[in-house]
Amino acid sequence: MSEIVRLEVADGIGTIILDRPKMNALDADMQRRLVAVAEEATERDDVKAVILWGGERVFAAGADVKEMAGMSYTDMTAHVRLLQKFTRALAAIPKPTVAAITGFALGGGLETALCCDFRVVADNAKLGQPEIALGIIPGAGGTQRLPRLVGPAKAKDIIFTGRFVDAQEALAIGLADRVVPAAEVLATAQALVAPFVNGPTQALRAAKEAVDKGLETDLSTGLEIEAQLFAGLFATRDQKSGMRSFVDNGPGKATFEGI
């Protein structure tokens, strides 16, 4: 696999690294490779949590406009499937995920970050969906994931105007979960997911699935999804050891196997 997208694993954390100088523009090749590494991170048992990292300079400045500029309607009806395929693949990773954002996360870059469970943002970062200035709209999930995260009115403001959101506003509206100095972004992301590495893997997977699928449906159906996933965890060894530890030793002392 090309080094422009790679998965590095250490201490149970898989870091998906974007490395296409100079701005990590997400061209079709990069999108395909993101699908592949998302599937790899999903399948590898030694990966318990995932960080998406664009490097110290920039997260991703967006899709490759030069590549798309000459496309026809027919071309784009095919290409938009890839745009949504790579973001769906990232969102479907059944493990805790965090985007570590420095510099710009714009357009497809922000849509990539929106696929993660959490976002750690540098205090000088800029986030946004500036597609409107190109005469288009977000096409890799921005019109759907952003309003689910920050609410429809704020999402429309960001999408309609195409303006950049600074780190403090991102934190205030729930687009960022942590804001730290740029030099601390990666370490903060690692610290955020580190507690999940030795956690109850199946319960974490079920919790993520229950929240994500529940957001896509009505309350009654969401409660049924929760009930089925909840009951299913009683087939795991972690549930047995977790409850036994609670009864014998009190809360917070269980050791989990991830099975």
Domains 5-197 and 201-249 share a fold: no
Predicted pLDDT at 1? 44
Residue 251 and residue 207: Cα distance in Å, rounded?
A: 19
pLDDT exceeds 90 at position 185? yes
DSSP 120: E
Predicted pLDDT at 96? 98
The predicted model gives 199-214 an average pLDDT of 97
Buried b (16+ CB within 10 A) or exposed e, 61-94: bbbbeeebeeeeeeeeeebeeebebbbebbbebe
Structure tokens given for 201: 């893997």
Residue 99 and residue 150: Cα distance in Å, rounded?
A: 17
Residue 43 and residue 9: Cα distance in Å, rounded?
A: 13
pLDDT band at 105 (very low <50, low <70, confident <90, very high): very high
The label of the residue with tokens 């590549």 reads: 67
Name the strands in the sheet holding 104-106, side by side, starting at the edge strand that comes first in the sequence. Answer: 104-106, 126-128, 164-166
The residues pairing with 165 across neighbouring beta strands, listed in sequence order, are: 127
DSSP track, 198-245: TS-HHHHHHHHHHHHHHHTS-HHHHHHHHHHHHHHGGGSHHHHHHHHH
Instruction: Please say whether the dihedral angle defined by the alpha carbons of residues 9, 177, 188 and 111, taken in this order, is positive or negative.
Output: positive
The predicted model gives 219-236 an average pLDDT of 97
| Class level of CATH domain 5-197 | alpha beta
- C-beta of residue 161 within 8 angstroms of C-beta of residue 131: no
Give the global pTM: 0.93
Predicted pLDDT at 64? 84
Predicted pLDDT at 210? 98
Residue range 27-62, pLDDT digits in tens = 999 999 999 999 999 999 999 999 999 999 999 998
Residue range 9-32, pLDDT digits in tens = 999 999 999 999 999 999 999 999
pLDDT exceeds 90 at position 252? no
Positions marked catalytic? 111, 131
Predicted pLDDT at 65? 87
Domain boundaries, the chain: 5-197, 201-249
Predicted pLDDT at 46? 96
- C-beta of residue 29 within 8 angstroms of C-beta of residue 83: no
The predicted model gives 76-85 an average pLDDT of 91
Measuring CA to CA, which residue among 158, 182, 162 is closest to residue 172? 158
Mean pLDDT, the chain, whole residue set: 95
CATH tag, 201-249: 1.10.12.10
pLDDT band at 66 (very low <50, low <70, confident <90, very high): confident
Residue range 124-165, pLDDT digits in tens = 999 999 999 999 999 999 999 999 999 999 999 999 999 999
The predicted model gives 74-84 an average pLDDT of 91
DSSP 139: -
The label of the residue with tokens 């002392």 reads: 253
